[in-house]
């Protein structure tokens, strides 16, 4: 099931339907629109099995940032700051994600073994902040 996050927008309650998921996990109906957010296609995954609706490789962190971070939890706050800066220049892809979220659930797929400290988690946080600002 896709985790849902609620926030107040005036007197109206709005539902944000964003989730992250390892691409190696089985696809589920609840995933909604599945977006691979890694620059490289994950090893050992066939496209049919992945059930990816969109591959936004250019929304992934730059190679330099990805290599610097190397999924080191100690670098997480600085990674997020730098990645959010990079995302500020990716309006077209951000708009695509926001549009898909308006129509249903969106799941960001990633290949990393690390579940808490990866670009999909940071991207989800960034998009949630954009959605809250827009309300």
Residue 20: Cβ-neighbour burial (10 angstroms; 0-12, 13-18, 19+): buried
Token code pair at residue 50: 């992945």
How confident is the model over 18-61, as pLDDT tens digits? 999 999 999 999 999 999 999 999 999 999 899 999 999 999 99
Query: What is the reported pTM?
Result: 0.86
pLDDT digits 0-9 by tens, 74-120 = 999 999 999 999 999 999 999 999 999 999 999 999 999 999 999 99
Residue 71 belongs to what domain range?
5-134
Domain count, the chain: 1
Q: Residue 28: which region, alpha, beta or left (left: phi > 0; alpha: psi -120 to 50)?
A: beta
């Amino acid at each position: 099931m896709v985790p849902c996050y609620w926030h107040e927008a005036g007197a109206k309650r709005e539902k944000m339907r964003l989730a992250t998921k390892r691409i190696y996990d089985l696809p589920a109906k609840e995933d909604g629109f599945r977006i691979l957010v890694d620059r490289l296609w994950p090893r050992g995954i066939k496209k049919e099995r992945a059930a990816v609706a969109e591959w936004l490789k250019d929304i992934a962190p730059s190679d330099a940032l990805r290599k610097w971070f190397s999924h080191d939890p100690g670098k997480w706050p600085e990674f997020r700051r730098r990645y959010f800066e990079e995302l500020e220049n990716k309006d077209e892809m951000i708009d695509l994600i926001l549009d898909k979220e308006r129509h249903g659930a969106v799941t960001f797929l990633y290949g990393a073994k690390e579940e808490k400290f990866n670009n999909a988690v940071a991207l989800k946080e960034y998009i949630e902040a954009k959605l809250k600002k827009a309300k």
